[in-house]
Amino acid sequence: MHIVHLSLTNFRNYRHLELSLPPHLVVIQGDNAQGKTNLLEAIHVLATTKSHRASSDRELVHQAATQEDLPFTRLFAEVQKARGTIKVEVILRLERALPGEAFVAPPSAMPVRKRIRVNGVPRRSIDLVGQVNVVIFSAQDIDIITGTPTLCRRYLDLVNSQTDSRYLRSLQRYHKVIVQRNHLLKLLQQRQAQPEQLEFWDRELVESGSYLIMQRQHLVRTLNKLAQEIHRELSSGTERLEIVYLPSVGKEEVQLAEIESHFRQALDQTRRREVAQGMTLVGPHRDNLRFQANEADMSRYGSRGQQRTIALSLKLAEAKYIHTQVGDSPILLLDDVLSELDRGRRHHLLDAISSFQQVLITAVELNYFEPSFLAQAAQFQVRQGNIEKG
Ligand code: ATP
Ligand code: MG
């Protein structure tokens, strides 16, 4: 698939942008703080409804727009897919006053309302995710290798949600169940509820959670195979990469029934502690990942360069995985990653990505690209929230 046209209004530092894009390789060059990352972020929002870096949707609204009477941000893209074109649209509206309230909120406190349309028809977020598939490469990918379990889970959720709508539904359900169940556990802790009331929430937790575990297991196994091969090449045959899924319950099961039964057992065993602490202690919200090279845990023993290479192998594996899962080439977004790599790795990366249908690469300098690569690429220049063909 590839983006044919992108239109942004009041998104970050883009006041108004109309950008037609060709398929294949697109290089976007710009100095620091001109809007390179913002552009890729906009595409990420259109694909997943969420930013890959903002902590709140409010950040996405152009600061000058927040002073206007009806502040809004609009993102729109027309995307050519293997089976026809699709138009996706995300609108964020800042509400100055809540309905029925005279109080006028300052910009920093204005609630954000998100509206989504697919082919002009209003839809829920869940219906947009997976329509346009993207894989984003950024310097922060290294945090998945070194970082907290939260980032690992968020990563697995993002990939799975893009390729499996049941996964996204189960995930949303699971999060709701955790909130309700934790609330009940707190009441039990204070002896304000009956233990039997847990049964319903246990069933719901096991049902939605086991599906997450099964799909995460499948994803990690597949990514591991793909990344292993890529990593062997990137490390010139010296490193054997192993990505290990560390589920909070169960081990290597593949059958849903098996996972469910282990999950239920784990709940039975931890019930007393859960009540004492007033929260759910086992389940996929406690999962983790481990990255090993030649048996060593890379979060502790990996050199910076090693971790960076593993992140790259993981992302290339993800792109391949999505391609086979959805039967269409995902759009690759590379945010200034070339400057971080040595010449050999850069060459391998550029070689590996050129088989995808559309690749958007941002860079501060063009001299990281090989001339033969640049000759094949369309070039654009970004300057203060404007983009021109270069
Ligand atoms: P670098 O090379 O440093 O990574 P970049 O081109 O990727 O730079 P961006 O992260 O895209 O830069 O940011 C471009 C500019 O957008 C920055 O100056 C930033 O302050 C500005 N910006 C971010 N959010 C908003 C917003 N909500 N309203 C207006 N400007 C914003
Ligand atoms: Mg940037």
> How would residue 174 be classed by pLDDT, with cut points 50, 70 and 90?
very high
> How would residue 14 be classed by pLDDT, with cut points 50, 70 and 90?
very high
pLDDT of residue 99: 64
What strands, in cross-sheet order, belong to the sheet with 296-297? Answer: 241-246, 288-293, 296-297
Q: How far is the CA of 245 from the centre of ligand 2 (A)?
A: 31
* CA angle centred on 364, ends 132 and 339, rounded to 5°: 85
The three-class DSSP label of residue 229 is: helix
- The answer to whether the CB of 7 falls within 8 A of the CB of 17 is yes
Those residues whose C-beta lies under 8 Å from the C-beta of residue 191, and which sit 6 or more positions away, are none
pLDDT of residue 66: 86
Give the ligand 1 atom nearest the CA of 35.
11
From the CB of 49, is ligand 1 less than 6 Å away?
no
> How would residue 69 be classed by pLDDT, with cut points 50, 70 and 90?
confident
> How would residue 252 be classed by pLDDT, with cut points 50, 70 and 90?
confident
**What is the rounded CA–CA span in Å between residue 156 and residue 161?**
8
Cα separations (Å) of 353 from 319, 329, 379? 9, 11, 17
- Mean pLDDT within 225-247: 95
Helix 149-163 to helix 198-234 angle, to the nearest 10 degrees?
Answer: 90
Residue 168 is encoded by which pair of tokens? 């996204």
Residue 182 pLDDT exceeds 70: yes
State the pTM of this model: 0.94
Residue 235 pLDDT exceeds 80: yes
**What is the rounded CA–CA span in Å between residue 115 and residue 133?**
19
From the CB of 13, is ligand 1 less than 6 Å away?
yes
Q: Where are the beta strands (DSSP E) in 68-157?
A: 72-81, 84-94, 112-118, 121-123, 134-137
Those residues whose C-beta lies under 8 Å from the C-beta of residue 205, and which sit 6 or more positions away, are 174, 177, 178, 181, 263, 267, 280, 283
Give the ligand 1 atom nearest the CA of 30.
6
pLDDT of residue 95: 84
For ligand 1, atom 17: residue with the closest CA: 33
Determine the residue of 8, 11, 12, 45 to mutate for testing ligand 1's pocket, defined as the one with the most ligand atoms within 8 A of the Cβ atom: 12
pLDDT of residue 113: 93
**Where does 90-148 have alpha helices with state H?**
125-128, 142-146
| Pick from 53, 59, 25, 49: nearest CA to 363 | 25
From the CB of 33, is ligand 1 less than 6 Å away?
yes
Those residues whose C-beta lies under 8 Å from the C-beta of residue 48, and which sit 6 or more positions away, are 129, 134, 158, 161, 162
Q: Report pLDDT digits (tens) over 75-121.
A: 999 999 999 999 999 999 998 766 666 666 776 778 899 999 999 99
Q: Report pLDDT digits (tens) over 286-303.
A: 999 999 999 999 999 999
Q: Which amino acid is at 298?
A: M
Mean pLDDT, the chain, rounded, equals 94
| H, E, C per residue of 251-278 | CCCCCHHHHHHHHHHHHHHHHHHHHHHC
From the CB of 302, is ligand 1 less than 6 Å away?
no
Residue 153 pLDDT exceeds 90: yes
Q: How far is the CA of 34 from the centre of ligand 2 (A)?
A: 8
Those residues whose C-beta lies under 8 Å from the C-beta of residue 283, and which sit 6 or more positions away, are 174, 178, 205, 209, 248, 249, 263
From the CB of 35, is ligand 1 less than 6 Å away?
yes
